[in-house]
Every structure is written in structure tokens, then in C-alpha cells.
Amino acid sequence: MKDIKVQKSERKGLYTMKEPSRKAASQIIEVKLCPYCHFPNKPKDTYCKYCETPLVEAKPGLTQLIKNFLKDRQELITNHLSIFLGLLFVGIALYLLFKNSPPGLP
């Protein structure tokens, strides 16, 4: 089994692999590691050769921007709805509590 040494390169996201060989000089290969399976890929690859996940984040298109906007709006509406329902239930509970209390108490 070969011993492979991995070192971080100066360029962002690239690593150098020194593979020991029978020759006097060792061969240096630049690779891009997959963020999920850590499989070494060539620097020009856009998809992992092992798990096929994208190595480069794509710029969001119009459909992705619309999906993100709707997702944010849905989370905002859900948060406002939960606050409204919580205040409504507290108000109903206070109303029922003080409705049946004796007249001398506030």
C-alpha cells in the first residue's frame, strides 16, 4: 500500500499530494478534495468523481432566487403566526380566568 502525504496548497481549496515512488524525485499532484467524501479530484473537475456532488458552488439562477425568497417569506409568516396564536391563547386564558372570578378580585 502506498503512503500518500497530503499538504495544503497556496491556492484556495487545493491540496498537494506527494506520492512516494521508486524514482529519486517524488511526483507532486494538485488535487481538490470533495467536501463530503474527501475523494481527491483534479483541480479542473466540477463534480466529484466518486460521489458526484458539485465541487464548485453554482451561482443561483432566477428560480433559485425565487425559491429562497419564498422560503424566507414562509419562515417569516410562520414565526408571526405562532406569535399571534400564542398571544391569542394567553388572552383567552386570561379572559376565562377573570370572567369566573368573584367581583371583589381584580
Grid-cell match 524525485, residue found: 25
Q: How confident is the model at residue 102 (pLDDT cuts 50, 70, 90)?
A: confident
**Structural element, H or E, at residue 62:** helix 62-99
pTM of the model: 0.36
Q: How confident is the model at residue 5 (pLDDT cuts 50, 70, 90)?
A: low
* Secondary structure letter of residue 47 according to DSSP: B
How do residues 17-63 score in pLDDT, each as one tens digit?
655 555 545 567 788 888 888 889 888 888 888 888 888 776 667 87
DSSP 3-state assignment of 82? helix
Q: How confident is the model at residue 97 (pLDDT cuts 50, 70, 90)?
A: confident
How do residues 66-84 score in pLDDT, each as one tens digit?
888 888 888 888 888 999 9
Q: How confident is the model at residue 9 (pLDDT cuts 50, 70, 90)?
A: low
Across 85-106, average pLDDT = 84
For the chain, counts of helices (H) and of strands (E): 1, 4
Q: Using an 8 Å Cβ cutoff, are 32 and 55 in contact?
A: yes
Q: Which amino acid is at 22?
A: R
| CA separation for the pair 57, 12 (Å, rounded) | 14
CB atoms under 10 Å from CB of 16, counted, come to: 15
How confident is the model at residue 62, as a pLDDT? Answer: 80
